[in-house]
């Protein structure tokens, strides 16, 4: 990764990843037609199912698992587990905040144990070991370590940490008395920290740095002194900084206050930040902390005294979930799931522009892995209909070569076609238009016309047919293919196509006459075709932009029509009209001679 203060460049790695989580979201999404364009929205936030599909064993995979676990605990009131089973059903609503807190406590213990569980025994003193145990919420082990270290009185106090408000207040007063009486200078910093935790103070121990030398004591941050990260620091607030009956949002509020006003050094940046020593630097916050804040603000219905509504997806962008910003799936999914559960509580400030950019980025990542089906689904989450339509059409054109036909060669319905048209509800004309574009680039113009007609681009199909396809088929005398294409235009194309009688209708009349064996032709059709040909011939002679093949085809049709007229003694066409048909000079001389012969035969016959 190359960086400067304004630009970050990421190296593109393997973009493929498991699509199970996105498939879950698709199964729980509703796709509606809004402003004539399909639009997707999440119908239910199933965090438990998302937990189960996380299989990646990596820091990124572990973080994703924890994100879904935390969201499941905080935003689901109907979990049935051992904790809820211990509360009578008619009391569960009353004690729901305690139940959630106990669940969060278990999750937080597991997170800290996984990261820091091996560091306990390495502590130098019994008091430091006790602090490590308290960071793991192992109060009994902390008390045991203190007893073994010869401090049973402190062990007794520690056993009451985080339980009773009276004990916290009494301990706070006691610490203040010791400070005033210069007793703190006789204590080690670990012992002072333990007393502070009993008092509910998880931030810092205030000393007397300006006192006389014999009474001088240091002021130290508990997190900094014992090397705690933000997860451990928040755990201290959750377990010892608030009362036993207090709620999760109380711990969140306390930690936020300590960060904002108390200079708490354990700032909750993402584990993927490379400048953690810079509190508040322009690094993403941990997604776990963002989710905790959203929950707290939701509990205050957007009126939290310490925390403003959380700006999403800004605060959960991909940089917070991985070492690079080119994997947007988790950020995209978390944004829509969090919106589903927290939007109604005024906990979010939604940046629709960023949300759209996030969806576009994720769709691009899927497209880079040639996963165009999932990419199209993601684009359905764009906010504005005009953006959805444009982006989906661009994606279809990008993968036009891979787009399916409705029916396979074995006459079974294409699964991918069903996915695009029935599941994603994409308009079929969009798909056919993309296929037409690919056919044009490949030079397969008959296929292009068919696709344009299926796309209902009538005028464009008509123009391509008349300028390129029909002339080429006439020159090649491939009348069967010409008939197939004309049939695709339908029985009454003149109702929806401008200029059909003068252009497309010319080829239909010509084919109607070609299909009749012998010389004798339908005189009404022949007259109409002759009139159309004469007008077309006059136009191509004056124009410099008519394609060469179209000129050749019209002259070939003119030659054939002239032949039918001159060879049919019953033809009612005027000789002058026959000679006005578009033809080559050689053909014109031949038919002029035939017309002259017919004329003189008629004179001789009348004279006789």
- Tens digit of pLDDT for each residue in 59-81? 899 999 999 999 999 999 999 99
Contact criterion met (CB below 8 Å) for 139 and 158: yes
DSSP 40: E
Question: pLDDT for 433-477, tens place per residue?
Answer: 999 999 999 999 999 999 999 999 999 999 999 999 999 999 999
Residue 590 to residue 435: CA distance in whole angstroms:
45
Give the contacts of 606 (CB within 8 A, at least 6 positions apart). none
Residue 33 to residue 28: CA distance in whole angstroms:
17
User: 382 is written with which tokens?
Assistant: 């764009």
Contact criterion met (CB below 8 Å) for 222 and 205: yes
The separation between CA 181 and the C-alpha centre of its own chain, rounded to angstroms, equals 63
- The candidate with the shortest Cα–Cα distance to 461, out of 509, 421, 499, is 499
Residue 132 to residue 119: CA distance in whole angstroms:
8
pLDDT at 174: 95
- Taking 50 as the pLDDT cut, the residues of the chain under it are 1-3, 274-280
pLDDT at 7: 58
Which own/partner contact pairs does 4-12 have at CB distance under 8 Å and 24+ positions apart?
Answer: 8/325, 10/324, 10/325, 10/326, 11/324, 12/326, 12/368
Looking only at the bridges linking them, the beta strands covering 310-312 and 8-9 are unpaired
Burial class (CB in 10 A: 0-12, 13-18, 19+), 127: buried
Contact criterion met (CB below 8 Å) for 87 and 99: yes
Neighbours of 205 (CB within 10 A): 25
DSSP assignment of 444-491, as one string?
-HHHHHHHHHHTT-HHHHHHHIIIIIHHHHHHHT-HHHHHHHHHHT-S
Is the backbone of residue 597 left (phi > 0), alpha (psi -120 to 50) or beta?
alpha
Give the contacts of 167 (CB within 8 A, at least 6 positions apart). 157, 160, 198
Burial class (CB in 10 A: 0-12, 13-18, 19+), 546: middle
φ, ψ of residue 354 in degrees (nearest 5):
-65, -35
Contact criterion met (CB below 8 Å) for 543 and 582: no
Domain ranges within the chain, ordered by starting residue: 432-515, 519-608
pLDDT at 2: 47
Give the contacts of 22 (CB within 8 A, at least 6 positions apart). 329, 333, 374, 377, 378
pLDDT at 276: 42
pLDDT at 519: 61
| Angle between the N-to-C axes of helices 504-514 and 479-488, in degrees from 0 to 180, rounded to the nearest 10 | 130
pLDDT at 51: 96
Give the contacts of 51 (CB within 8 A, at least 6 positions apart). 65, 68, 69, 72
pLDDT at 577: 75
Peptide bond into 313 cis (omega under 30): yes
- The candidate with the shortest Cα–Cα distance to 63, out of 331, 310, 279, is 331
Residue 440 to residue 443: CA distance in whole angstroms:
5
């Amino acid at each position: 990764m190359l960086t400067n203060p304004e630009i970050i460049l990421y190296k593109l790695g393997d973009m493929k990843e498991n699509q199970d989580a996105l498939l879950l979201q698709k199964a729980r999404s509703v796709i509606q037609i809004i402003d004539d364009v399909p639009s997707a929205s999440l119908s239910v936030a199933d965090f438990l199912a998302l937990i189960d599909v996380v299989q990646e064993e990596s820091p990124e995979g572990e973080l994703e698992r924890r994100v879904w676990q935390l969201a499941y605990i905080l935003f689901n009131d109907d979990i049935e587990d051992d904790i809820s089973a211990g509360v009578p059903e008619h009391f569960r609503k009353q004690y729901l905040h305690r139940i959630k807190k106990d669940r969060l406590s278990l999750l937080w213990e597991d997170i800290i144990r996984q990261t820091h569980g091996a560091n306990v025994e390495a502590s130098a003193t019994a008091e430091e070991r006790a602090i490590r145990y308290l960071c793991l919420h192992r109060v009994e082990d902390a008390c045991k370590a203190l007893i073994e270290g010869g401090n049973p009185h402190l062990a007794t106090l520690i056993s009451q940490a985080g339980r009773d408000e009276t004990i916290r207040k009494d301990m706070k007063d006691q610490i203040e008395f010791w400070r005033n009486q210069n007793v703190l200078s006789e204590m080690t910093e670990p012992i002072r920290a333990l007393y502070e935790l009993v008092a509910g103070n998880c931030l810092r121990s205030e000393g007397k740095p300006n006192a006389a030398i014999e009474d001088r004591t240091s002021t130290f941050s508990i997190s900094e002194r014992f090397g705690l990260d933000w997860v451990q620091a928040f755990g201290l607030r959750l377990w010892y900084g608030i009362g036993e009956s207090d709620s999760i949002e109380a711990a969140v509020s306390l930690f936020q206050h300590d960060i904002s006003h108390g200079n708490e050094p354990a700032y909750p940046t993402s584990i993927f930040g490379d400048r953690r020593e810079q509190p508040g630097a322009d690094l993403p916050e941990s997604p776990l902390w963002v989710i905790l804040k959203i929950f707290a603000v939701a509990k205050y219905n957007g009126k939290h005294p310490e925390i403003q509504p959380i700006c999403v997806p800004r605060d959960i962008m991909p940089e917070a979930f991985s070492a690079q910003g080119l994997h947007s799936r988790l950020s995209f999914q978390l944004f829509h799931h969090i919106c589903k559960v927290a939007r109604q509580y005024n906990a979010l400030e939604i940046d629709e522009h960023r949300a759209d950019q996030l969806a576009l980025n994720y769709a691009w990542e899927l497209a880079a892995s040639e996963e165009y089906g999932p990419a199209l689904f993601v684009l359905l989450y764009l906010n504005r209909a005009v953006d959805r339509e444009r982006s989906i059409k661009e994606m279809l054109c990008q993968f036009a070569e891979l787009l399916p036909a409705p029916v396979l060669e074995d006459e079974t319905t294409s699964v991918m076609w069903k996915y695009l048209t029935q599941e994603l509800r994409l308009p079929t004309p969009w798909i056919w238009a993309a296929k037409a574009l690919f056919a044009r680039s490949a030079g397969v113009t008959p296929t292009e016309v068919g696709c344009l007609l299926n796309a209902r681009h009538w005028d464009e199909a008509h123009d391509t047919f008349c300028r390129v396809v029909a002339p080429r088929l006439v020159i090649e005398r491939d009348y069967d293919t010409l008939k197939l294409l004309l049939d695709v235009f339908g029985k009454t194309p003149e109702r929806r196509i401008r200029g059909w009688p003068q252009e497309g209708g010319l080829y239909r009349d010509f084919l109607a006459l070609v299909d009749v064996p012998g010389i004798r032709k339908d005189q009404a059709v022949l007259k109409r075709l002759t009139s159309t040909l004469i007008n077309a011939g006059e136009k191509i002679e004056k124009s410099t932009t008519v394609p060469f093949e179209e000129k050749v085809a019209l002259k070939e049709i003119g030659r054939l029509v002239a032949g039918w007229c001159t060879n049919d003694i019953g033809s009612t066409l005027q000789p002058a009209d026959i000679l006005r048909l578009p033809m080559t000079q050689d053909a014109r001389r031949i038919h002029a001679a035939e017309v002259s012969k017919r004329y003189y035969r008629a004179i001789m016959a009348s004279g006789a």
